[in-house]
Every structure is written in C-alpha cells, then in structure tokens.
Structure 1
Amino acid sequence: MSSARPTSRLARLLRSASFRLTLFYAVLFMASAGALFGAVYWTATAAMQTDMAAVLRSEAYQLAEVHRRSGLGGLADQIARRINFRTRGPIFYLLQAPNRRVVVGNLPGMPPVDGVVDFVPQPDAAVPEADGERAKLTGFGLTLPDGSFLLVAQDAARLTDMQHAIVRAFAWASGLTLLLAIAGGAFLSSSFLRRIDTITRTSRAIMEGDLSARIPAHGTHDEIDQLIASLNAMLGRIQQLMDGLRQVSSDIAHDLRTPLGRLRQHLEDARERATTTEAYDAATDAAIAEADELLETFSALLRIAQVEAGAQRRAFTEVDLSELARSVGEAYQPAAEDSGHTLDIRIEDGVRLTGDRQLLAQMLSNLVENALHHTPAGSTVTLAVGKAGTGIAIEVADNGPGIPEAERAKVFDRFYRLDRSRSTAGSGLGLAMVKAIAGLHGLTIELRDRNPGLGVVVTG
C-alpha cells in the first residue's frame, strides 16, 4: 500500500495539465536553444576560420615582401629565425624552390597550392598529435615571382577546441534547462494539484450536506484565487437559496396550517351540519374564500421566488421612477382618504432607474399599502422619491406606532407579522416581496425610526 500511493501520486502528477504544459514549453525552449546553438556554432566557426585565414595571409604576404627585398636566401634566413624563436605561436612554414626542393621549413614538401588550404601533414612532419591522430592544419599558400612556393600553416586545434567548447556549453545548458523544467513542472503541478484537491474536498463536503464549507484562498490574487472567489460567492448564494427554501418550507408548514384547517372545518361543517341550500352556499363560499387566500399566498411565494432567481433582469429598461411613483401615489389617494389617512406625495422630477417597471410599481405599492394598513386612522403616510448623489432614494414614512427595534430585522422575512397585526388580513409576504425586488435591482433597504413612526428607505 505504501509504495502504491506514491506511484499513484506520481502518475497523477505526470498526467496533470500543468506538468504537460511545462514539458511542452521545455521542449519548445530546447528546440529554440537548438536553433540558437546551430547559429552560434556556424557563426563562431566561420568567424574563427576567417580570422585564422587573415592571420596566415598577413604572415605570408609579409614574407613575400622579404623575398622581394632579399631574394630566396634572405627569405630562408627569415623563416629559419621565426621557426627558432616562434614569436607568433605554433606556426608552420614551408619554402620550396621552383624545382620543389625544400629550402627551409618544418613541414614536408607538397604540391604548390595558392590560397587557403586544409591538410594533414605527412608523418615525418614535426606536428603534435591529439588523441593518437595527427593534427589538421590550415595553411595559406603563395607562389612567389621566381616560381618558389611559400606556405604558412597553423594548427586547427584551436578551432576544434572552440567547437567542442560550444557543444559542451550547449549540452550542459540544455541538460540543466530540461532538469529545471522537469523540477519546476513537478513543483508547479504539485502546488496546482494541492489547490485542486482543496476544491475537491470542499465540493465533497458540500455534497455531504455541509453547505457552509468554503474553499480557502491563498491570497495571491491569481487566476485560481479569482476562480475560488467566484466559487465561494456561488456557494454562498446557493446556501442562501437553500436556507430560504428551508425557511419557506417551514413557514408554509407553520403559517398555512391555520387557513388549511379552517378550510377543512368549513367543508366538514357543510357535510355534517348544513341542511339547507343556504347553509351549503354559506359553507361553500367560506371554503372558496379560504382557498382563494391560499392561492394568493402561493402566488405571492412564486413571485418572490421568480424575483429572487433574477429571471426578470433580462427585461430591464430605463424607467422614469418619478412618473411611476407619482402614478402609484395618485392610485392610493382614494384608499387613503377612505381609511382616514393622509397620503403626502413628494416626488422630485427626473429620477430614472434601469429596471422592471412592473416590479418597481409593485414595490412602491407594497410599501404604501403596508404603511396605510398598519397605521391607525388619522396618520400621515409620506411617499418621497428623489436623487441621492449619483443614485436614487425612495422613502415611505408614517407617523404611526412604528416597529420595535428588536423586530425590524425580521419584518422582511416571509410570513413574519407583528403580534398586533395578526388579527388583520394579510399573509406577511408584502415586505418580503419588497426586499426581493430591491435586491434584484441592486438597491439596499433599511428601516429608520421617525419618532414617531417608521421610515422605509430604499437607496441605490
């Protein structure tokens, strides 16, 4: 088991995308280095050959000048001195008379060749050997005016040594590069796999029911951290939706039990006690009323779910919020007067917002209706819309009894109702819808104490 796990880990490492990508770039780099090696090798070799030829040509023409001034004897004496003193390094000379007799030199005779020539001297020449092989010479031949032949040559071992040095340098550099690439690829892949394993463990924890699990970020703000941030935001949204679903299920089970019980009681009364057509009609009407209330509640829940899912965002257009709020306020003026309220409308012109006109109208209607419904007759309800810096501000305020501070955070929950409101009609979903619509439009909503009364402020 202990040997299988490292083998499996190594195989997974070698199969990882990051390791394969590193190897791909390593091979690409090696190919580039090979092309560079060829260019350097060819350029350096050509440069050194040109330099050697230039040195030998200069030496040969200097000696030719000596021949012009001093004749063949003077040239022979000059070559002899240079061979004895070797002031210019390992340079080889050959001076042949017109009849190919060797006059002086440390090279055996050879057929005259003008210009640059590469050759391997005869075994009797005093030329050093390398690895059991006679050295290759590069020479420059020159036929003199009297028919004699002059050859100046140099050992080509320097050129060979330089070529070998270039090959060794590139071989070491390539090997080291490949080794570092493999080691770097293994390190990067291992780090990458550790982060992937963290994401996998978190995913498994979530699949096992722990919706609060989150993926830890490294704080490097790289692509993986950005992906983790997006995944954590998505997980947070999923947890929020699941918590909301559980809460809705619990609220439905708790708050709809009473109307369902009343509906069942009406039906039982109709079956057991109604003896006349009028009694049946009354029981049926009461059951229909209870069923309509249930249907309205479920419709409101469905609308809230649709809004929270963000499906309406695709239909957003620019809305004249001033005109919309003014029309909502005018629509509720008669209801406010009938209930003994005063509806004060304070609308600033030119307030615009990108959103869904129908949903925004429902948000404003719910706020106004909620204020009228939960304040006593004689209260004043104010609907105000204006600009707040670069954004907008909506406020529906009243001078009624307000909401206790301890309960303000709960009034936007589904089915939540204050104790004093439980005797009045309603499902407790109005402010939940307001919160969902505000969230869909990127608006924030808060409750403020107006002393007396309450203000619901929506800003964005």
Structure 2
Amino acid sequence: MSLKRLHNIPKTIGFRLTAWYSGIFILSSILLFVFAYYFLSSTLLKQDHGAILSELGELSSEYVSSGITSLEKEVTIAKKFRKKHPFFIRFAGTDNNTLQIFFPYQWAEFDLTKLEKMTPVNKQKWIRLPAMDEEYFLDLASTRLPDGHWLQVGLSSEDRERVLERFRETFAAVMIPLFLLGFLSGSFLSFRALRPIQHLIKTVQSIDLGKMEARVPGTGTGDQLDELVRLFNGMLEKIETLINAMKGSLDNVAHDLRTPMTRLHNIAEKALQPNRDVSIYREALAKCIEESDRILRMLNALMDISEAETGVMHLDRKITDIPGLMHGVVDVYSYIAEEKGLSIHINAPRDLYVTVDEDRVGQVLANLLDNAIKYTLSGGQISLKASRRQGEVVIKIKDTGIGIPREELPRIWDRLYRGDHSRAQKGLGLGLSQVKAIMLAHKGRVDVLSEPGKGSTFSIFLPANH
C-alpha cells in the first residue's frame, strides 16, 4: 500500500465511521463503568451505614435496659460471632472522655484519641475518622444515652474499598479487549453500512469502462441505501434504454435514408443534364419535394417510436370524445373509400370520453384505417366499433381484406417490416410500429386477429382511468 493511500485513510468515510462507532462504544462502556461504580459504592456505603445504625440501636437498648455490664457482655458475644466483620464500639462520658473502647486489633492504624477532640453528634450525622496513612477511614454513628453518656459504633471502610478496588481492577483488565471489541464492532458496522456505496462505486467504474449492463446489487434491507440502489439501477435501466434506442434509431435512419437519398441524387443528376426542357426541371423539383417529404415523415415516425419506447414522448392529454374522433378520421378517408367502392360503418355509444392525446390517438386510428382501406378489395366493408369494459376503452377496426399470414403476425409491429402483400403498396413500413409506440406511451396496448382471405381486426385498448 502506497504512502499516499495510507495518508488518505483517515480522510475516508469508512475510517471516520469506524472511529465514531468505536468512540461511542468505548465512551458508553466507560460511562456504564462509572455508573456501575457509583451504584456499587453507594450500595456498599448504605449497607455499612445500615449495619452500624442497627448495631447502635441494639447496644443502646441493651445499655438502657441492663446497664454497662450487660453492654459489655453483648459486645463479647458479638466479637465471638462476628469475627469477619467486627464493629468498633466506644463508650464515652458526658464530656466525651473515653471510658471504654472495643475494637479489632487490626484497626491499629486509626488514631482513636482524636475522637475525644471531635464533638459527638446525633446519629443522623456521621463522623469520619481517617486512618493514619489515610488509606481507609472509620465511619461512626453516635447517640446520647439517657444518663448523658455517649455511645459510638463504627465500621472501617477497608472491606468496602477492597470490593471497589477489585471492581476497578476488573474493569482495567477488560478495557483492552473492550477497546478491541469496540474497534472491531465499529469496523464491521462501517463495512456493512458502506457496502452499498462500495458496490455503487464499482458499478460506476464498470460503466466508465463501457459496461452499460453493470448494476448495483441490492441489499434487500429496505433501508435508505437500498432505496438509493433501486433508484440508481432504475436510472441506469432508463439510460441504457435511451442509448440503445439512439443506436437503433441511428442505424435505422442510416439504413433507410439510403434509398430516398439515392433517388434524390439521381433526380438531381438527371435534371442537370444539358438541353433539358423547363418542364423536366419542374418535374424534378416536384419529385425532390416528394422525396424530402417522405424522408421527413420517416424521421418523424422514427423519432415518435423512439420517444415512446424510451418513455419520453410528450402527450398533450385532454378529455377526448372518442366517437367524435372516430367520425373525424373516417371523414378524412371517406372519399378514398368511396373511390375504391368500400363502405365504412361506425358503432360507438354516446358520451364515451377518455383522457388521451387526441392528435396521437387520431394518428393511430388513421394508420389502422389507412391500412384497412389499402388491403381491402373493392366492395369490401370496414367497421369501427368503440366500447367501455373493465376500466378500458376498446376501439376495434375490422375489415374484410386480404388478411395477414399467421407467420407474419409477430413481425408486423417491427420497424420497417413489410409483408409480401404490403410490398405492392406505398408506405414506409413504420405505421404499425408507430401505432404500438403511441399505445405504449398511453399505457395501453394493441393486438390483432387476422385470417388470410377473410380480413383483420385490430383492437386498441386505452386505460379509462387516465
């Protein structure tokens, strides 16, 4: 690992997260120790004070009832049965001069003569006598007896301090493993938290190398980072679709512009030959305009198809009267149908409205009706029927034309595909592709039923809830 990478480690999010996690874990452990230490210390102190007050009460009651002799017997018995935790007991006169003291021999580190200089207080207040080395101290509770004498009972803090010392030593012993555990826990949590980010970085690097199919693996946790991964992958899907559509459009345009551009070139070259009549130039210009219009129609159709397939087609949605739209399209083609000896019938209920782009849906109907007229023989019939069912508006265009062979049905929606029978008719081979694309943009669909020699029925389905 280079020195530059080592130098940059503290700047990484992973290192900072690990440091934060570890710091919070260790700080929490220390705070927990402080709280536990304070709780243990308070509990032990309360236990000692409770034992002192209990012993003081018993001894003072014994003195009141039976005098000093009985008190001495009680102390002697107590020393026999309480060798482990003996009490310090002091009996003093009215002027606090020591009359009698009972205390364990191992408590010699306390200077008991100082007690005569300390004014005794009621048992609600405590006297603390430090040892000569000040390592421990003696907690004392006092009570004035009915005859004016003082009785004091105490306990050394030695046992309590030993327990607390063991607790401190235990915590010190576990601190290093605890710090290590905190660091490992922080590293693990940091790794888990940043794993989607690492996958994201690797995916972006793969895309930068040209692998557009690369995707970020999801964690499946359902958290914000998982949602980010889902949105990022969705964005990549859309970008890949757009790029593929652009490539496909460019390929199609490059392929399909060759023929009309060649015709334009030939017309212009022919018109430039010497000794030509003006009418020939006019005819050449008219053909050039016709070919240029054909190219424009092809480009517009290809752009519409690409926009619809990539989800960027703009739709000017508004409430549309479907029967009125059907009548409008039929009116445009009625003259051509009459010339060919075809009859067109419309069957649509009144007040059938749906929110769509009226021009786009009109373009769909026009394409399908134009095909029906082209491929229906003289004397045939064409019917348009609209209805509403199960949340959809369905428009059917049925003809008695030549039909479509079964093997060609899956391919009629492909761009620039023209079947055997359609090659004899003028067209770009983009009409049905455009129909499907516009329906896709409306979240609708289109299908076809056809039988050669009997005709075809195209059905378009528009969502009625838009």
| TM-score above 0.5, yes or no | yes
1:351-390 matches, within 5 Å, as 351-390=352-391
Distance 1:220 1:348, change over 3 A: farther
TM-score by length of 1: 0.81
Q: Is the 8 A contact 1:13 1:186 kept in 2?
A: no
Alpha-carbon distance between aligned partners in 2 of 1:203 and 1:94, rounded to the nearest angstrom: 84
Distance 1:135 1:224, change over 3 A: closer
Secondary structure at 1:447's aligned position in 2?
Answer: strand
Q: Is 1:409 aligned with 2:410?
A: yes
The amino acid that maps onto 1:269 is K
Q: Is the 8 A contact 2:137 2:158 kept in 1?
A: yes
Secondary structure at 1:142's aligned position in 2?
Answer: strand
Q: Is 1:96 aligned with 2:92?
A: yes
Q: How many residues align?
A: 447
Q: Is the 8 A contact 2:139 2:155 kept in 1?
A: yes
Secondary structure at 1:395's aligned position in 2?
Answer: strand
In the alignment, structure 1 segments of 5+ residues that lack a partner are 123-131
Q: What corresponds to 2:128 in structure 1?
A: 118
Note the C-alpha offset of 1:199: 4.1
Secondary structure at 2:411's aligned position in 1?
Answer: coil
Note the C-alpha offset of 1:152: 0.8
1:306-325 matches, within 5 Å, as 306-308=307-309, 310-313=311-314, 315-321=316-322, 323-325=324-326
Distance 1:28 1:192, change over 3 A: closer
The amino acid that maps onto 2:74 is Q
Distance 1:408 1:278, change over 3 A: same
The amino acid that maps onto 2:60 is A
- Of residues 73, 78, 81 in structure 2, which corresponds to 1:82? 78
1:160-309 matches, within 5 Å, as 160-161=161-162, 163-164=164-165, 178-190=179-191, 195-217=196-218, 223-272=224-273, 275-308=276-309
Q: Is the 8 A contact 1:136 1:156 kept in 2?
A: yes
TM-score by length of 2: 0.80
Note the C-alpha offset of 1:272: 0.6
Note the C-alpha offset of 1:140: 0.8
Distance 1:399 1:198, change over 3 A: farther
Question: Is the deviation greater in 88-97 or in 195-204?
Answer: 195-204
Note the C-alpha offset of 1:153: 0.8
Q: Is the 8 A contact 1:118 1:137 kept in 2?
A: yes
Distance 1:185 1:313, change over 3 A: farther
Note the C-alpha offset of 1:424: 2.4
Secondary structure at 2:155's aligned position in 1?
Answer: strand
Distance 1:27 1:266, change over 3 A: same
* CA deviation profile, 1:428-453 (whole Å, cap 9, x unmatched): 22222222211212223333335633
Q: What corresponds to 2:427 in structure 1?
A: 426
* CA deviation profile, 1:338-380 (whole Å, cap 9, x unmatched): 3333333233455554442322222222222232233333333
Question: Is the deviation greater in 344-353 or in 262-271?
Answer: 344-353
Secondary structure at 1:291's aligned position in 2?
Answer: helix
Alpha-carbon distance between aligned partners in 2 of 1:458 and 1:161, rounded to the nearest angstrom: 90
Q: What corresponds to 1:456 in structure 2?
A: 458
Q: Is the 8 A contact 2:93 2:99 kept in 1?
A: yes
Identical-pair percentage: 27
Alpha-carbon distance between aligned partners in 2 of 1:343 and 1:248, rounded to the nearest angstrom: 36
CA RMSD of aligned residues (A): 3.6
Q: Is the 8 A contact 2:88 2:153 kept in 1?
A: yes
Note the C-alpha offset of 1:76: 2.9
Secondary structure at 1:89's aligned position in 2?
Answer: coil
Q: Is 1:63 aligned with 2:73?
A: no
Secondary structure at 1:457's aligned position in 2?
Answer: strand
Q: Is the 8 A contact 1:411 1:431 kept in 2?
A: yes
Alpha-carbon distance between aligned partners in 1 of 2:172 and 2:338, rounded to the nearest angstrom: 96
Note the C-alpha offset of 1:277: 2.0
Note the C-alpha offset of 1:335: 3.9
Distance 1:215 1:393, change over 3 A: farther
1:120-135 matches, within 5 Å, as 120-121=130-131, 135=136
Alpha-carbon distance between aligned partners in 2 of 1:215 and 1:362, rounded to the nearest angstrom: 40
Distance 1:409 1:321, change over 3 A: same
Q: Is the 8 A contact 2:404 2:451 kept in 1?
A: no
Alpha-carbon distance between aligned partners in 1 of 2:235 and 2:35, rounded to the nearest angstrom: 54
Secondary structure at 1:416's aligned position in 2?
Answer: coil
Q: Is the 8 A contact 1:414 1:428 kept in 2?
A: yes
Q: Is the 8 A contact 1:415 1:427 kept in 2?
A: yes
* CA deviation profile, 1:144-201 (whole Å, cap 9, x unmatched): 2333221111122344345446656766787666544432332344456665454444
Alpha-carbon distance between aligned partners in 1 of 2:351 and 2:156, rounded to the nearest angstrom: 95
* CA deviation profile, 1:392-435 (whole Å, cap 9, x unmatched): 43333333222333333333233222233233222222222222
Alpha-carbon distance between aligned partners in 2 of 1:354 and 1:177, rounded to the nearest angstrom: 67
Secondary structure at 1:211's aligned position in 2?
Answer: coil
Q: What corresponds to 2:346 in structure 1?
A: 345
Q: Is the 8 A contact 2:136 2:157 kept in 1?
A: yes
Secondary structure at 2:424's aligned position in 1?
Answer: coil
